[in-house]
Amino acid sequence: MTINNQPERKKIQHDERPNMRMLTRKELGEHLAALGEPAYRATQLHRWLYSNQTLDFEEMSTFGKQLRQKLASAWSIRPASIASSESEAREADAAIDIQTAKFLIRLEDGELVESVLIPSEERMTACISSQVGCPLRCAFCATGQMGFRRNLATSEITDQAFLLDAEALKRHGRGLSNIVFMGMGEPLLNLDNVFESIGTLTEQDYRFSISEKKITISTVGLPAEMERIARSGLKTKLAVSLHSADQSVRERMMPVALDVPLDKLAKAISICNTITGQPVTLVYMLLEGVNDSPEDARKLARFAKSVLCKINLIDYNSIVTLKFESGCSSSKTMFIQRLLDAGLPVTVRKSQGAAINAACGQLATRTVRK
Ligand code: SF4
């Protein structure tokens, strides 16, 4: 494991001007309109900020000098930055240069979130955060133990992708191929900003551009917001963290299940299936003695058969303050076999990043330990 702390940035005089990157696209347009500028200027300004990623209004050569000066006198441009990083090289992977790396991202107000770069031979995936902390308090999740601090602004979401793309190019010679909203927070509780960030990340002629189909949004299963995504026309994929198809077990693991019982969740998934024609991925984390029995497999199979879905089994990564254990390999084999026998499509995700607390459920571990 390696840890890199970025050198402390030189002390600069505190900039009193507000940060233009905290404005939404709509607000950028409103601000320019208030200055008497035509609507197309907003498109140009957005491109300068998020395609060129300029930090200096003087570089905005499509604007006249007067407008550049007006903007510079009122605003600064301060993107999120990497505060530190940790890398994990698994022995078996060292030869093919596969290193999972976790980045601590410093935000506008000094808050920190975590993003994880997960390289594999076929993909270069960024796992990004949507909230500082999370209000949903899933029992197995380090972020949930932090409590909720705030939603991320649109630019704070896009900046994680830009920063990890640059790191991927530097470390591996190839940029991001996939983005998953599976970092800190519940993306569906910050859906306006998640939507806008996806709009920016998929702008076709921007310097960084990724296909909607390469983006996965993960949720604990919030019906109204799931339907909103389905109706949005986005081609992004949806992953629902199920973790148990037994109502009382799920309630113990995920308090949100008290409000969204399994029948309501199945109905929400079916509505998404009908609108998009696409399957939803059911994410199921095997926990020893909690949800890994033959009966649990049977209940999962029954739930999965009631909707259009794929199942993704993942390992639990231990968090020192929490009391769960990953399912043992024999129960995992039995579990997988039962699902396959039921004719269900199952993938098993190998855990990456556990040594640096970058794996599923581990983000924010250090904060919790403190
Ligand atoms: S698993 Fe996701 S939704 Fe649950 S507490 Fe953690 S970040 Fe929030």
Question: Helix/strand/coil (H, E, C) string of 244-304?
Answer: CCCHHHHHHHCHHHHCCCHHHHHHHHHHHHHHHCCCEEEEEEEECCCCCCHHHHHHHHHHH
Pocket test for ligand 1, best of 127, 129, 134, 360 (most atoms within 8 A of CB): 134
**Share above pLDDT 90 across residues of the chain, in percent, rounded to a whole number:** 77
Answer yes or no: is 185 a known binding residue.
Answer: yes
- Regarding the domain delimited by 20-74, which CATH topology (the fold level of the hierarchy) does it fall under? DNA polymerase; domain 1 (1.10.150)
Q: Which spans in the chain are helix H?
A: 25-34, 40-50, 65-74, 142-146, 154-172, 191-201, 223-232, 247-253, 262-276, 294-305, 329-341, 365-369
Q: Is the CB of 77 under 6 A from ligand 1?
A: no
Whole-number Å distance between alpha carbons of 125 and 129: 13
Answer yes or no: is 134 a known binding residue.
Answer: yes
Whole-number Å distance between alpha carbons of 182 and 255: 18
| Atom 3 (ligand 1) nearest CA | 186
The CATH class, in words, for 81-369 is alpha beta
Answer yes or no: is 46 a known binding residue.
Answer: no
Determine the atom of ligand 1 nearest the C-alpha atom of 254. Answer: 4
Parse the chain into domains and list their residue ranges: 20-74, 81-369
| Atom 4 (ligand 1) nearest CA | 138
Say what the pLDDT of residue 15 is: 79
Say what the pLDDT of residue 343 is: 95
DSSP single-letter state for residue 187: G
Whole-number Å distance between alpha carbons of 278 and 315: 25
Q: Is the CB of 136 under 6 A from ligand 1?
A: yes
Whole-number Å distance between alpha carbons of 31 and 255: 41
Determine the atom of ligand 1 nearest the C-alpha atom of 184. Answer: 7
> Which residues lie across from 286 on neighbouring strands?
315
- Give the list of residues 6+ apart from residue 165 with CB closer than 8 angstroms, or none: 126, 175, 176, 208
Determine the atom of ligand 1 nearest the C-alpha atom of 142. Answer: 6
Whole-number Å distance between alpha carbons of 153 and 195: 11
- Identify whether 360 is a catalytic site residue: yes
> Which residues lie across from 313 on neighbouring strands?
284, 348
Tell how far CA 284 is from the center of its chain: 17
Phi/psi region, residue 116 (left: phi>0; alpha: psi -120 to 50; beta: rest), is beta
Whole-number Å distance between alpha carbons of 209 and 195: 15
Residue 142 Cα to ligand 1 middle (Å): 8
- CB-side exposure of 51: number of CA atoms within 13 Å? 16
Q: Is the CB of 137 under 6 A from ligand 1?
A: yes
Answer yes or no: is 141 a known binding residue.
Answer: yes
Q: Is the CB of 223 under 6 A from ligand 1?
A: no
Q: Is the CB of 185 under 6 A from ligand 1?
A: yes
Question: Which residue type does 142 have?
Answer: A
Say what the pLDDT of residue 108 is: 87
Q: Is the CB of 220 under 6 A from ligand 1?
A: yes
Residue 134 Cα to ligand 1 middle (Å): 6
Answer yes or no: is 243 a known binding residue.
Answer: yes
Say what the pLDDT of residue 322 is: 56
Across 301-326, b (16+ Cβ under 10 Å) vs e yields bebbeebbbbbbbbbbbbbeebebeb
- Mean pLDDT, consecutive 10-residue segments, the chain of 370 residues? 48 76 96 96 98 97 97 97 82 55 94 95 96 95 92 98 98 97 97 98 97 98 98 98 97 97 98 98 93 96 97 74 63 91 89 60 49
Determine the atom of ligand 1 nearest the C-alpha atom of 131. Answer: 7
pLDDT per position as a tens digit, 267-323: 999 999 999 999 999 999 999 899 999 999 999 999 999 999 999 998 876 444 556
pLDDT per position as a tens digit, 209-237: 999 999 999 999 999 999 999 999 999 99
Could you say which of 114, 156, 167, 225 is catalytic?
A: 114
Say what the pLDDT of residue 316 is: 76
